[in-house]
Amino acid sequence: MSEPTAVLSPRAEAEQLAGELIGDRADAWDRAGELPLGLLRELGGKGVLCAQVPAAYGGLGLSSADNGELTAHVGALCSSVRSVMTSQGMAAWTIERLGTDEQKAVHLGELTSGRLAGVAFSEPGAGSDLGAMTTTLRTEGDTVVIDGRKAWITVGAYADLLVVFGRHGSGAGAVVVPTDAPGVTVERVADPMGCRAAGHADVTFDGVRLPADRLLGGAGLPVDWLVTSALTFGRVSVAWGCVGILRACLRAAASHAATRQQFGAPLADHQLVARHLAELHVAQEASARCCEQASRCWDENSPELVTSAVTAKHLAAGHAARGAAAAVQVLASAGAQDGGPVARAYRDAKLMEIIEGSNEISQLLLGKHALAVWS
């Protein structure tokens, strides 16, 4: 009599699928600067790319905690795929947060059926200072008109849809734009340093006209209010992705140190190498605990969520950048060769200190919080 087949949780099924589809292919994708579109559509169609979307819209309905561990799992395999998850998740969350019932049914259904989406915040003159955005969303009767240029949009080269933020009246708004709409021009960013296969692109909107029902709710509210909601999701996702980077580095460094012989002994027996491994372990543990706190705040709808998300992203990104550098040091020439997980992590992790709020922006936000709480 055969043993009953174990029933996997939705998160475990998603992790298994991602592991099977990604395997050991990340280095080849990184060198090529391209992810297979079929891979992304399959992951998207199974709800993996925006796993917190409720089941009513075709999603997996994962908690932030479970989606975080899924994100770390994918991040340990391929940061470019994880970047797509972050972007798709941000787009889905923005639609879920701001959309009408009809908009959510239409657009969230698209994102859990294999269509791909990114979020367009930054511009050539508005990176950290998103208040300087010049892209405009103008309502004319039953039409919304989009004009402007967005820079470094993750997934832009693959996206079917972009959630575009811009000026709307005296405030800001967000509109769902098909990338094949007349007036949309997508230009791939050439040779990005990190997450090289994530499809970074610059996108121009030249008099793009769409039905007004593409404009999400909240139009006219302050830009900070609208953007913070989406960025908070992105910061939690990036932080968990950094946990994945640290786990990949720790695995590679520990394996190398245990098997590589120098001066008649394994590298791990040398105290200065053991110190690198210890610091990597501590960095992974601290980052994971901080991410767990941010996800707990998300799942409990805590007023501390925004600060917890910034804290987790700042801490985990810094640890990932330093941890990847330490892993390169342990592997030495073996870690410095392009096409390996440690060299890839070294480049990818640096990008994590910039996206979804640079280290400096995070420090400014956390400094204000510290003054408000502790002074």
Q: Which two tokens stand for residue 363?
A: 């420090």
Residue positions counted in the chain: 375
CB 41 within 8 A of CB 116: yes
Give the whole-angstrom CA distance, residue 148 versus residue 122: 11
Q: What is the pLDDT of residues 129-154, one digit of tens each?
A: 777 889 999 999 999 999 999 999 99
What is the CB-side half-sphere exposure of residue 234 using CA atoms within 13 A?
A: 24
pLDDT at 82: 98
Q: What is the pLDDT of residues 316-360, one digit of tens each?
A: 999 999 999 999 999 998 888 888 899 999 999 999 999 998 999
Stretch 19-41: mean pLDDT: 97
pLDDT at 129: 76
157 has a pLDDT exceeding 90: yes
Coil vs helix vs strand at 8: coil
Give the whole-angstrom CA distance, residue 236 versus residue 50: 13
Q: Which two tokens stand for residue 368?
A: 């204000």
Nearest CA to 116 among 135, 140, 92, 132?
A: 92
Q: Cβ contacts of residue 308 below 8 Å, gap of 6+?
A: 293, 294, 297, 302
CB 69 within 8 A of CB 228: no
Give the whole-angstrom CA distance, residue 274 versus residue 122: 41
Gyration radius of the chain's alpha carbons: 21
pTM: 0.95
Give the whole-angstrom CA distance, residue 237 versus residue 356: 10
Which residues share a beta bridge with 351? Answer: none
- Model confidence at 110, pLDDT cuts 50, 70, 90, reads very high
Give the H/E segment covering residue 251: helix 223-259
pLDDT at 30: 96
Mean pLDDT of the chain: 94
Percentage of the chain modeled with pLDDT above 90: 85
What phi and psi values does residue 259 have, to the nearest 5 degrees? -115, -25
pLDDT at 1: 54
pLDDT at 49: 98
Q: What is the pLDDT of residues 206-253, one digit of tens each?
A: 999 999 999 998 878 888 888 888 999 999 999 999 999 999 999 999
Coil vs helix vs strand at 199: coil
Give the whole-angstrom CA distance, residue 88 versus residue 51: 9
